[in-house]
Amino acid sequence: MTTRESASNIVEAPARSRGGVPILVIDIAILLALVALYIIGGINGAFPLILAAIVLSIAFPFVSIGFYMIQPNQSAVLTLFGDYRGSDATPGLRWANPLYVKKKVSLRVRNFTTQTSKVNDARGNPIEIAAVVVWRVVDTARAIFGVDSFTNYVQIQSESAVRQLARMYPYDAFDETDVTTLIGDTSEINEDLLVELQDRAEDAGVEIMETRITDLAYAPEIAESMLRRQQAAAIVAARKKIVEGAVLMVRDAVAGLEEGDADHDSIALDEDRKATFAANLMTVIASDQPTNPVVNVGTLSR
């Protein structure tokens, strides 16, 4: 049987416990009766009264040991000689078998940030990545008996899951639009991380409530090169957009000159002049630097 199968057999069950206030009243009554019996028995020299006082002297601390306090969002795991006897999550003063060992477990929401790990992404590029994990205990039996230390278990498995996630996806896909990336698809990446970590946390009786990538960057040794690549890709994309717009503007300008309108006569252009006009206008629109036009003062035929 595997470790996962063994842990799955441990299921939280309610413990047999009682409210502590009624038992406390009884315990106080035992204490008062104990004092009274000692006094009366000592004065009268009545052995039965002294014997009863001795019995109550044993009963009082035995009953007192059974008290324990449960805070809101807290549970107590009860065991008897190593055998699991249930969990008690009822807040307030509680009482159970004095022979039970009570181990308290917090059910409050917890969170931590994983250490920034250096790992290669799906394309072999070294990156640095970290995530924040929000979690809570939902099964105290598995939290105590399923793993050695559920807090350490969650932290170590979170580190492992983040590193595994980084290896599954590229940091950036640049021109590939159909590829899921760490930097571009954060919602999907966070969801995949939550599913991966929740599967690992089942053995510890833990619910992973939220996971988010917090730190994500190229490793320092390639960060500058990748930045230049990203800048180059951005420049190429911007140039492409400018050229597409310039082509449309040139077409509209040539069509407007040839068609004219009600207030302006049309201007006939042969193929050579269309090409020259288009080239000059494309240069003006797409150029990074201000253009210095050369004015031709000759006639159209020269």
- Picking from 288, 256, 287, 254, the residue whose alpha carbon sits closest to that of residue 273 is 254
Q: What is the CA radius of gyration of the chain?
A: 39
Where in the chain are the domains?
Answer: 3-105, 110-218, 224-286
- Angstrom distance (rounded) from CA 195 to CA 7: 19
Higher pLDDT, 83 or 242: 83
CB 122 within 8 A of CB 210: no
Strand residue runs (E) in 74-125:
74-80, 83-88, 92-95, 101-106, 110-113, 117-120
- Angstrom distance (rounded) from CA 261 to CA 302: 27
- Angstrom distance (rounded) from CA 124 to CA 170: 8
Q: Which tens digit of pLDDT belongs to each residue from 167-215? A: 999 888 766 667 888 888 888 999 999 999 999 999 899 999 999 999 8
Sheet holding 18-19, edge to edge: 18-19, 92-95, 67-70
pLDDT score for 49: 75
CA distances from 195 to 22, 182, 199 (A): 46, 16, 6
- Return the structure tokens found at 155: 């932290």
Q: Which tens digit of pLDDT belongs to each residue from 244-290? A: 777 888 777 777 777 766 566 677 767 777 777 777 777 776 666 66
User: Containing H/E element for 70?
Assistant: strand 67-70
Of 57-71, 95-109, 264-278, the poorest mean pLDDT is in: 264-278
Share above pLDDT 70 across residues of the chain, in percent, rounded to a whole number? 80
- Return the structure tokens found at 123: 């394309």
- Which of the 8 DSSP states describes residue 171? S
Q: Is the dihedral of CA 175, 177, 179, 184 positive or negative?
A: positive
- Angstrom distance (rounded) from CA 209 to CA 154: 13
Mean pLDDT computed over 142-168:
92
Q: Which tens digit of pLDDT belongs to each residue from 12-41? A: 899 999 999 999 999 898 888 888 887 776
CB 138 within 8 A of CB 148: no
Residue 227 is which amino acid? L
CATH 3.40.50.10440 fits 110-218, yes or no: no
